[in-house]
Structure 1
Amino acid sequence: MTEIFAKTEVDRRTLLRRAAAVGMLATPAVGLLSACVGGGEDEPTTQSTGTKSADNPLGIDTKAGVEIVIFNGGLGTAYATDVDTPLFNKKWADAKITYSATEQISTVIQPRINAGSPPDMINNSGSNLMDFGAIVKAGQAADLTDLFAAPSWDVAGKTVAETLVPGAVQQGTYDGKPFAMNYSYTVFGLWYNKKLFEKNSWTIPTTWADFTALLDKIKAAGITPFGYAGANASYYMVRALLTSAAKIGTEQSLKDIDNLKPGAWTADPIKQAAQAWGEVGNKYINKTFLGLKHTEVQLQQDQDKVAFYPCGSWLENEQAKDTPAGFEYAVAAFPSVTAADKLPATAINAAAGEIYFAAAKGKNPQGGKEYLRAMLSKEAALGFTKLTKSLTVVAGASDGQTISPGLTSANDMLTKAGQDVFVGYLFDTWYKKLDDESRGAVNDLMFKGGDAQKFCDRMEAASQAVAKDSSITKFTRS
Structure 2
Amino acid sequence: MAQTISRRGLLHAGAAVGAMAGASALTGCAMGGDDKKDDAKADANAANPLGVKEDAPLEVVIFNGGFGEEYAKSHEAMYKERWPKAEIKHSATQQISQTLQPRFVAGDPPDVVNNSGSSQIDFNGLVSQGALADLGDLLAAPSLDDPKKTVKDTILPGVVDAGSYDGKFLSLNYAYSAYGIWYSQKLFNDKGWQYPKTWDEMISLCRTIKAAGMNPWTYTGVHARYMSWPILMAAAKLGGTDVLKAIDNLEPNAWKHEAVKAAADAYYQLAVDGFLQPGAEGMDHIKAQTEWCNGNAVFISCGSWLENEQKAVTPPGFNMAVAPPPSLTKGDKLPFEAFRGTGSEPFIVPAKAKNGRGGLEYLRVMLSKKGASDFTRKVSSLTVVAGSAEGIELGPGLTSVTKMIQGAGKNTFNWLYNSYYRKLERNLVNSACADLLAKRINSAQFVDQCQKGADEIAKDDTIKKFKRV
- What is the aligned partner in structure 2 of residue 262 from structure 1? 252
1:50 and 2:42 correspond:
yes
CA–CA distance in 1 between the matches of 2:419 and 2:367?
Answer: 27
TM-score normalised by L of structure 2: 0.94
Corresponding residue number in structure 2 for 1:312: 303
Describe the shift of the 1:451–1:78 C-alpha distance in structure 2 as closer, same or farther (beyond 3 A): same
Q: Which moved more, 1:197-206 or 1:451-460?
A: 451-460
Give the aligned partner of residue 83 of structure 2. Answer: 92
Describe how 1:323-334 pairs up with structure 2 within 5 A.
323-334=314-325
User: How many Å apart are 1:138 and its aligned residue?
Assistant: 2.0
Query: Quick one: structure 1 residues 454 and 354, their matched pair in 2 at CA, closer, same or farther if it must change by over 3 Å?
Result: same
In the other structure, the counterpart of 2:139 is: 148
- Corresponding residue for residue 235 of structure 1: 225
Matches of 2:467 and 2:13, distance apart in 1? 23
Letter in 1 for 2:40: S
Aligned-residue RMSD, C-alpha: 2.0
Matched, 1:296 2:291: no
On the 8 A contact 1:434/1:463 being kept in 2, the answer is no
Which among 343, 349, 353 is matched to residue 358 of structure 1? Answer: 349
Among 50, 68, 73, the residue aligned to 2:60: 68
Matched letter for residue 58 of structure 2: V
Cα separation, 1, equivalents of 2:370 and 2:30: 37
Rounded to whole Å, the distance in 2 between the matches of 1:209 and 1:57 is 57
**Mapping of residues 310-389 of structure 1, within 5 Å:** 310-389=301-380
| Cα separation, 1, equivalents of 2:58 and 2:419 | 32
Q: Is the 8 A contact 2:61 2:91 kept in 1?
A: yes
Q: How far 1:35 sits from its partner (Å)?
A: 3.0
1:76-99, Cα deviation, whole Å (9 max, x unpaired)? 111011x20111111111111111
Map Cα deviations across residues 224-281 of structure 1 (whole Å, 9 max, x no partner): 10110111x2110011111111111011111111222222122210111111110112
AA at the equivalent of 1:255: K
CA contact (8 A) 1:41 1:114 kept: no
Is the counterpart of residue 271 in structure 1 residue 261 in structure 2?
Answer: yes
What amino acid is aligned across from residue 240 of structure 1 in structure 2?
P
Matched, 1:422 2:413: yes
State the shift of 1:427 in Å.
Answer: 3.9
Counterpart of 1:393 in structure 2 is 384
Give structure 1 stretches of 5+ with no counterpart: 1-8, 27-32
CA distance in 1: counterparts of 2:426 and 2:63, whole angstroms: 22
Alpha-carbon distance in structure 2 between the residues aligned to 1:12 and 1:311 = 25
Identity %: 42
Is the contact between residue 260 and residue 463 of structure 1 (CA under 8 Å) also seen in structure 2? yes
Runs of 4+ in 1 over 6 A off after TM superposition: none
Normalised TM-score (structure 1): 0.92
Q: Give the deviation of 1:365 after TM superposition.
A: 0.6
- Give the corresponding residue for 2:14: 19
Structure 1 Cα separation of the partners of residues 422 and 34 of structure 2: 30
What is the alpha-carbon distance in structure 2 between the residues aligned to residue 392 and residue 84 of structure 1? 14
Greater displacement, 449-458 / 249-258: 449-458
Q: Structure 1 residues 89, 408: CA separation in 2 closer, same or farther (over 3 Å shift)?
A: same
The one of 181, 199, 204 equivalent to 2:190 is: 199
How many angstroms apart in 2 are the aligned matches of 1:42 and 1:419?
A: 39
Change over 3 Å in CA distance of 1:278–1:128 after alignment to 2: same
